[in-house]
Amino acid sequence: MADGGFSVEGQENIQEILSKQLYLCQCLMALKILRVNGSFLCKLFDLFTPFSIGLIFLMYKCFDQISILKPNSSRPANSERYLVCKWKKSNTDSVCKYLDHVNEVLNMGKEDVLEIVNQQHIVSDQTFLDYIVKSNNDIGQNQILGLKKIAAYCRNTQLKETKQSEIRKRCLELWGLPDKLRQAPESKTHDKFLEEILGDWNDKLFFNSLPKELHTIECIQNNISSIYDWYFVPVGRAETNVNACSMFLCKSKGCLLRYSDSKKWEPVEYIFDISPKSIFFGEIVYEYTGEGRTQTRISALHIIDAIMLGGIDIRRLKLSERSRLCQKYSLSLNKPFKDGNCSPIRSKRLYELKYLNNFFNDMRSHVLKDNSTRLGLSLSPENKFFVPGGIMLLCEIFHNFFSSISHSTHKLYYFNKQTKTSYYKNCMPNDILNTLYASFRNSYQRRLLWKWTNLMQVEEKCINREKNMLYREDLETFIYNKEKH
């Protein structure tokens, strides 16, 4: 979309001539950056000179369809109109090179360019010529009418335009919108706002549930029935309470709140550009650049899971889909090149538990500013990394089910613990399928946390073990045995 313009005050009658190079450059840029079948919208004014008509003719040849229209929202008394070009054709390089050359000639400033397409080519295409003439006549007649109305209203200040209010009323009725003035949104308490967002989840006690910590292999065996149902995300070291995983709430733009250990919503001191009506689970972590004494760090918001994002309720989607939407949401909000002190926003990458070994292989050793060496996870494509202090495990399947691999068919099936029945996913009745996946609340309340309080825990092989401490080797052995059986 191109909406270029500049002041032509006092020279309105030659606006088209003054704007000719602007027209050219906007069309040239569109031809250069659009993919095949791409579309282009450009604001123009008068289209009478051979130069302008020739430019429109070239665009007509480069796209499957073009149209020139003046929307109802455009001021009727001026010559503004819009060129709409749909579905760019392939092989438009020769036109691009030609328009580049024309632009260079105009930049030299020695001679003007009066036309860019031979008039005979345009006249020979009767369809195009008729369309241009009709478009100019129609828009011109409407402009004359608009100018006459302005003159009449200037001469008689008592005149009123009744159609405007009538059309407004009919439009509001057609669109189903209330006929009232815009007003500032109602200021609601946190509890009232949450009550509206959560709806049937009005019992907010699940916010207070703590993750079950994994200290031994027995803890894993008691909580994980199937490795195929579980995912994990790397979490920070929780250096302070502010850095701990918690719920976040955004009621209005620029107002981000965090659910603290004292069970209160407290404002976040960092600036994160979060869209209103969002409630999600995440953490504020440090992202590092460089090594050793020259290392720098910034605070960033990492989203783990969500109930609502920008007013869109995702709480009952399956975990992997919620994670995909969190990723899309964070990418749309993150502004790495924005001036000011706006901090980064990311969505945690969701790993399948069975690929735990791949996760550790992705990490690299980094020297921190205090000269300690820690494993860090690269944050591509930027030259930053994040130092995990553990992993949080989340289950995608509702607690009444677990999955396993069939010994006879070697396919994944789901077993219902209550009814003692099993199904392959493609044979599962819809009413059962609708209850298969865990909601945000179900996943959140059953989350597990493996903290790395000792660097030895994440070594591939650890000799000097401590009691009541879970090691990487334990978890990898558990996964191997589950896959084997």
**pLDDT tens profile 364-398:** 999 998 888 899 999 877 789 999 999 999 999 99
Q: Please report whether residue 170 resides in a domain.
A: no
> 323 with 350: CB under 8 angstroms?
yes
User: Tokens 């828009």 sit at which residue?
Assistant: 139
**CA-based nearest residue to 268, from 246, 297, 238, 237:** 246
**pLDDT tens profile 239-283:** 666 668 999 999 887 789 999 888 899 999 888 889 999 999 999
**pLDDT tens profile 20-58:** 889 999 999 999 999 999 999 999 988 889 999 999 999
- Residue 101 and residue 218 in one domain: no
Q: Please report whether residue 167 resides in a domain.
A: no
Rounded CA-CA distance 345/335 in Å is: 8
Task: Say whether pLDDT at 10 is over 90.
Answer: no
Amino acid 350: pLDDT: 95
Residue 72: give the domain boundaries: 12-159
- Residue 93 and residue 228 in one domain: no
Which of 159, 179, 208 is the last residue in one of the domains? 159
Amino acid 255: pLDDT: 85
pTM of the model: 0.67
- Residue 72 and residue 202 in one domain: no
User: 190-199, 245-254, 324-333, 446-455: which has the minimum mean pLDDT?
Assistant: 190-199
- Residue 251 and residue 366 in one domain: yes
Q: Please report whether residue 379 resides in a domain.
A: yes
**CA-based nearest residue to 87, from 61, 56, 65:** 65
- Residue 94 and residue 233 in one domain: no
Average pLDDT, the chain: 89
Across residues 452-470, what is the average pLDDT?
A: 86
Q: Residue 75 has which token pair?
A: 């001021």
More confident residue, 166 or 64: 64
Q: Residue 50 has which token pair?
A: 């051979």
Amino acid 113: pLDDT: 87
Band (pLDDT 50/70/90 cuts) for residue 322 is very high
Amino acid 185: pLDDT: 67
Q: Please report whether residue 179 resides in a domain.
A: no
Band (pLDDT 50/70/90 cuts) for residue 338 is low
> 394 with 233: CB under 8 angstroms?
yes
> 82 with 71: CB under 8 angstroms?
yes
- Residue 124 and residue 204 in one domain: no
Q: Please report whether residue 51 resides in a domain.
A: yes
- Residue 125 and residue 224 in one domain: no
**pLDDT tens profile 284-318:** 999 999 998 899 998 999 999 999 999 999 999 99
One-letter identity of residue 395: C
381: preceding bond cis by omega (within 30 degrees): yes
Amino acid 477: pLDDT: 92
Which of 112, 140, 159 is the last residue in one of the domains? 159
> 350 with 304: CB under 8 angstroms?
no
> Could you give the dihedral angle defined by the CA atoms of residues 472, 352, 442 and 403, in that order, rounded to the nearest 10 degrees?
-100
Tell me the CATH number at 480. 3.30.470
- Residue 378 and residue 266 in one domain: yes
Which of 98, 130, 159 is the last residue in one of the domains? 159
- Find all residues with CB under 8 Å of 36, minimum gap 6, and list them: 88, 89, 90
Amino acid 253: pLDDT: 79
- Residue 461 and residue 326 in one domain: yes
Rounded CA-CA distance 359/466 in Å is: 24
Q: Please report whether residue 323 resides in a domain.
A: yes
Q: Please report whether residue 403 resides in a domain.
A: no
Count of domains for the chain: 2
Amino acid 410: pLDDT: 87
**CA-based nearest residue to 20, from 74, 99, 92, 136:** 99
Rounded CA-CA distance 302/464 in Å is: 34
Tell me the CATH number at 94. 3.40.50.12760
- Residue 116 and residue 214 in one domain: no
- Residue 154 and residue 267 in one domain: no
Rounded CA-CA distance 120/178 in Å is: 55
One-letter identity of residue 65: Q
Q: What Å distances lie between residue 329 and 222, 309, 386, CA to CA?
A: 35, 7, 20
Amino acid 471: pLDDT: 92
Q: Please report whether residue 57 resides in a domain.
A: yes
- Residue 209 and residue 130 in one domain: no
